[in-house]
Amino acid sequence: MKILVTGANGFMGHGIIKELSKSGNDIIAADFTDFLYDFSHVVSKAGNLFEIDNPYEYYGEPDIVLHLAWRDGFKHASENHINDLPKHYEFIKKMVSSGIKKIVVLGSMHEVGFHEGSINENTPCNPLSLYGIAKNALRQMCQLMVKGTSTKLQWVRGFYIVDNTEKGCSIFSKLIQAANEGKKTFPFTSGINQYDFLDFDEFCKQVAVIALNNSEFSIINACSGKPESLSSRVERFIKDNNLDIKLEYGAFPDRPYDSLAIWGDSTKIKKIMSGEN
Q: Which residues are catalytic?
A: 131
Enumerate the H helices of 59-182 as residue ranges: 80-97, 130-145, 171-180
What is the distance between the alpha carbons of residues 63 and 48, in angstroms, rounded to a whole number? 20
Other CB atoms within 10 Å distance of the CB of residue 137:
18
| CB distance 74 to 170 below 8 Å | yes
- How far from the centroid of its chain's Cα atoms is residue 41's Cα? 22
Would the CA dihedral through 5, 40, 159, 270 be positive or negative?
positive
Of 119, 108, 106, nearest to 262 by C-alpha is 119
Q: What residues contact 144, with CB distance under 8 A and at least 6 apart?
A: none
| CB distance 133 to 257 below 8 Å | no
- How far from the centroid of its chain's Cα atoms is residue 93's Cα? 20
What is the distance between the alpha carbons of residues 127 and 72, in angstroms, rounded to a whole number? 17
Question: Residue 11 burial by CB count (10 A; 0-12/13-18/19+): exposed, middle or buried?
Answer: buried
